[in-house]
Structure formats: structure tokens, C-alpha cells
Amino acid sequence: MLDGHGRENYTLLVNAHELYLQGYLDQERARTDGTFAQAVADGVSRMPAAMSLFIGNYNEERTWLYSDADSFTQAMGTPTRLTNYMVQPMDWEEADENGLSYQPFVEVVGQVTSAICKTGVMLTDIDYRIAPVGDVSHYCGDLQDINDLSIAMRQLKKFTFRPSPLRSRSPNFSSWDIFQWEHLRCFLEAFIDNNSIESIDINLQFFWQGATQVPPGSSPGSLLLTRKWPRLRKFFFEGPLHLEELRRFLAGVQQRVTLQLSRVSVLSGLWVDVLDTMRTYNQHLRRFSKITSPRGADSRLFRMSEFLNSFTVTTVQAPSIFTEFCPPTISGNRAGKRKLQVALEGVGRLPTAYDADMEGLMVTAVSEPNH
């Protein structure tokens, strides 16, 4: 038998559960029948200057409303306040921290952008920063969803895809899953497969960062070959790629582009070949093109200072070349290191003179702990 306080607490829990269940059912109904996407689209259509869309998984209301012990104490002041506190929605990160099993509804992103387009608003800037999810095939809806999204994005000029890792953990994609990648690739290409795109910023280093057996044409680097972009000016990329994918991208650029490769793992080829390739197509690169924190291939066989010295010619007057690096502590076997040094000495060095219009490459590195 429950005493007075027990019955009161039980009643409070029952009421909170009923309210939460009703809220969940309403949410699912709005998500599945398109009501949510249409509501967002209708709101955007009433903003005459709306051209950009930021997409994240943050619950700012909960952050400021119940962010400290005082707020929680106030919430416990009355049963009504406590019930309202208990049924507050939580963001994906909070759900993950509390061990709840869930699959974020990332397919809503495509539905929202398509619905906005159908109201007559043409978005030119999409900034996507939702935390990585366990099964990335959920990013992509069915074929009709992808077609609708591609049409909606035909005037997109700037696309950013930088999933923010959860505080509690980072996703672990240690093996390559071609099924999941094809779904994610279709989703990303729907945004960037157009002639209007000018700036692309894609971070895929959280996806399959431990995978090494990724076939050419099926790696994240294949996104560089989505199409030839006549207006592209910037491409920032993080994630694994093949040397040939980079070479084909540089060979096909329509105008000079700022290319920044950060925390990139080379799946085939060597970093010495990557730099040689970028030097070959230097006339296609704008100022501030750079490589930051190279990974994979031969990057751990030598110190960055040795690597850069092998490519530096003192007669070149270009202050942006190979500047501002912090040599990482890298372990490697001496034979392999010496062999690599000999190889570096034998391949194309920087030219002794630059065309007045040609700007140099910048290579930077950050210290990484020994593994």
C-alpha cells in the first residue's frame, strides 16, 4: 500500500508519463504525415529575405530553462512545475548520455528543405551540423525524396556538412559499409550536384575513420568528383580519399579554387605524391590552399620537419609556402624513414621560380599523441 506521499508521487509519474506519451505521439504524427516539414516551410515563406538554413540538434530552451541546481529546485516547488520539467524534450546528445536507444530522424532534413522550395523560397546556403548517427543510411529517404531534394537545391551556392560529435562519445565506424555509404553519398550529392555551388565544406572524418579497405570510387573522396563545378571557389574536405580522386578533381577544376584538406587519410598512394600532385596543378589553386594534419599512408614514417625540408627551396620567395607548422611526435622504423627520405630527395622539388600570378601551397600540422 502506498502512503500519502507515495500516492502523490505515483500520481505525478502517471501524469508525466501520459503527457510525454501524448507529446511523442503528436511528434510522430507530425513527422510522418509531413505536418512538421510543412509548418517549417510555411514559416520560412513568410520571411522575405530567407536564403540560408542552419540545421542542428540543440535544445536551447532546455539549456537556459533548467541549466543548474537552482532551476531544478524551483521546478520541484509544485507538482505542476515538476511534471513540466519531467516532460521537457531532450536533444539527441542528452538521450545518448542517458543510455536511451534511439535513431535520430535525420530524414526530416531533406523533407524540410524540399518543402521550403515548394513554397517558392530558393535556399542558397545550407549549414548542417547534426551529430553523427549510428546508421548513416537514415540520412537518405526514398528515391523520390532524393529527387525532390536535388530540385530544391539547384540554386544552392554554399553547403556545409559538419556533423558535431556527441560529448559522451564519438561514433565508431571501424569497418567500411558500402550500403551505408551509398545512402549518405546520395544525400550529400543532392546538395552539391548543381552548377550554382561556390563553396563546399564537408567533414566525414567521424565516419569510418578507422577503415582502410575502401575501394576507389566508393570512398568519401569520390565526392570531389560529383561533377565539374563551373563556379566553385572553395572546397574544404576532411576524411579519407584516394590519391587518384584528388588528382582527377584538380585536373578538372573550372577555375582557381581554394582547396583545404584537413585530417585527411590517404587510402592509396603516398603523401609525397599528394604534394607532388598539388604542385603539378598549382595553377588551379588559390591562396590559402593547404593541408593540415595529414594522416595515413607515409605520414607517420617521418617527422613533419623532415618532410617539409625535403620540399623546400630557399630561393622561392613565397611566404605562404609551408608555414606555421608544429612538428608532431611521430614514431616509425629507421629503415622505412631512411627509404622515404631517399625517395623524397629523388622526386620533384619546388620550382626555383614562380610565375608572378602563382601562389604557393601551405602545409600545416598539429601535434598528435603517440599511439
The DSSP 8-state label assigned to residue 257 in this structure reads B
* Contact criterion met (CB below 8 Å) for 184 and 137: yes
User: How far is residue 81's CA from residue 73's CA, in Å, rounded to a whole number?
Assistant: 10
pLDDT above 60: residue 120: yes
Check pLDDT > 80 for residue 69.
no
Give the pLDDT band of residue 125 (cuts 50, 70, 90).
very high
Q: What is the pLDDT of residues 165-216, one digit of tens each?
A: 655 455 555 555 677 778 888 989 999 999 999 999 999 877 655 555 666 6
61 membership: H or E segment, kind and range: helix 60-65
Q: What is the mean pLDDT of residues 62-70?
A: 49
State residue 228's pLDDT score.
93
Q: Name the 3-class secondary structure at 292.
A: strand
> What backbone torsions phi and psi does residue 352 show, to the nearest 5 degrees?
-80, -10
**Helix 35-45 crosses helix 107-118 at what angle (to 10 degrees)?**
40
Question: Where in the chain are the domains?
Answer: 39-61+100-350+359-364
pLDDT band at 229 (very low <50, low <70, confident <90, very high): very high
- The mean per-residue pLDDT over the stretch 276-283 comes to 87
pLDDT band at 220 (very low <50, low <70, confident <90, very high): confident
Q: 327 pLDDT exceeds 80?
A: no
The upper half-sphere exposure of residue 182, i.e. CA atoms within 13 Å in the direction of its Cβ, equals 6
Q: Which of 146-160, 280-294, 354-368 has the lowest mean pLDDT?
A: 354-368
Average pLDDT for 20-40: 89
* Main-chain dihedrals φ then ψ at residue 296, nearest 5 degrees: 75, 180
* Band (249; pLDDT cuts 50, 70, 90): very high
Q: Rounded mean pLDDT of the chain? A: 72
Which is more confidently placed, 345 or 250? Answer: 250
- Residues sharing a CB contact under 8 Å with residue 357, sequence separation 6 or more, in sequence order: none
- Give 355's DSSP letter: -
Using one digit for the tens of pLDDT, what is the confidence trace for 81-117? Answer: 788 877 877 777 677 677 776 666 777 888 888 899 8
Neighbours of 125 (CB within 10 A): 14
Q: How confident is the model at residue 76 (pLDDT cuts 50, 70, 90)?
A: low
User: Which of 300 and 125 is assigned the larger pLDDT?
Assistant: 125
What pLDDT sits at residue 269?
Answer: 81
Output DSSP code: residue 285. Answer: B
The owner of cell 584537413 is: 262
pLDDT at residue 48, rounded to an integer: 80
Strand partners for 258: 234
Instruction: Specify whether the CB–CB gap between 362 and 320 falls below 8 A.
Output: yes
- pLDDT in the model for residue 101: 65
